[in-house]
Amino acid sequence: MSTENKSLQALTKAVYKLLRPLVRILLRNGVPYGAFTDMAKSAYVDVAMQEFGVPGKKQTNSRVSTITGISRKEIQRLISVDTDEEDKDFVARYNRAARVVYGWVQNPRYTDITGKTADLPFEGEGASFGALVKAYSGDVPPRAILDELLRVGVVEKTSDGAIRLLAPAYIPTTGESEKLALLGHDVAGLISTMDKNIHGIETKPLFQRKVYYDNLPAEATEALHDILRDKGQPLLEYLDQWMARNDRDVNPDVGGTGQKAIGIGLYYFEDDVTTEENVATKKDSAENE
């Protein structure tokens, strides 16, 4: 088998594996195959239009049709539909709310004498929710940020009208649409990093690491969760603080050139290993030797 065919075979297997959990989510949310093919078609057109043009020439529908196999008429229909506005709005809301929560957790002005986040009055002299929003989210109305944080379950109102933080990070605990939106952003980021590492797009590989064992007892899961809480969360909080200090929205005095969106993720995954999967894994290993 040629190297090209081996690469295509490996890619086909890889795509099938990543599609399985995605299809599970789609079916769980009532999205049929036809709707998925429309999404895939739009993605093909968008990527081909934005990233696969001929250097020095304007990208054309004819070229996009040639490299994607989609008709020019269908391409014209797809590029005339703007599907990004709602997504852009979610990203903006996510970033603004996340910055406010960061300031609440990290700035001593908004913590009590024990170092825990203080309950804040909505407005008033001194440390208030309004002052917090102004410091970490610019000119966005405090009411809009409060409504967002209340809606996703990150804060609550106390009996005396103060605002209490319930979680040290902006991770939606209610609202399935927000969780599904994070699916797109987080998984897309990982795949983009792997694409750059596979094809050498960056001058040096981007950081991409994992540890994986496939014969651990079920009892090990709880211990690993404890380790992640003890070791993983402090690491993410440290990185969060460093990035915030170097983010121009949080710290307008930061200089430098360009504008980068950077994310770092740490996650846990777990599957039951069946006898059939063990056999398939050994078969794949034997074929590749």
pLDDT tens digits along 9-66: 999 999 999 999 999 988 987 888 988 998 899 999 999 999 998 888 899 999 999 9
- φ, ψ at 50 (rounded to 5°): -85, -30
pLDDT at residue 2 is higher than 80: no
The encoded tokens of residue 71 equal 């008709």
pLDDT at residue 238 is higher than 90: no
Of 58-62, 250-254, 258-262, minimum mean pLDDT range: 250-254
Which candidate, 210, 220, 223, places its Cα nearest to that of 267?
A: 210
Topology (CATH) of 85-165? Arc Repressor Mutant, subunit A (1.10.10)
pLDDT at residue 82 is higher than 70: no
- Tell me what pLDDT residue 282 has: 47
pLDDT at residue 253 is higher than 90: no
Q: Pick the more confident residue, 272 or 277.
A: 272
pLDDT band at 78 (very low <50, low <70, confident <90, very high): confident
Tens-place pLDDT, residues 103-155: 898 889 998 888 899 999 999 888 999 999 988 887 788 998 999 888 878 89
Q: Could you give the CA distance from residue 129 to residue 142 in angstroms, rounded to a whole number?
A: 7
In the chain, ranges of CATH 1.10.10.10 domains:
85-165
Q: Could you give the CA distance from residue 214 to residue 220 in angstroms, rounded to a whole number?
A: 12
pTM here is 0.63
φ/ψ bin of 256: left (φ > 0), alpha (ψ from -120 to 50), beta (otherwise): left
- Tell me what pLDDT residue 92 has: 61
Tens-place pLDDT, residues 182-208: 777 788 889 999 999 988 887 889 999
Cβ–Cβ under 8 Å, residues 59 and 46: no
Q: Pick the more confident residue, 284 or 218.
A: 218
pLDDT at residue 89 is higher than 80: no
Mean pLDDT of the residues in the chain: 84
Report the helix count and the strand count for the chain, using DSSP H and E: 11, 2
Please count the other Cβ atoms lying within 10 Å of the Cβ belonging to residue 99. 23
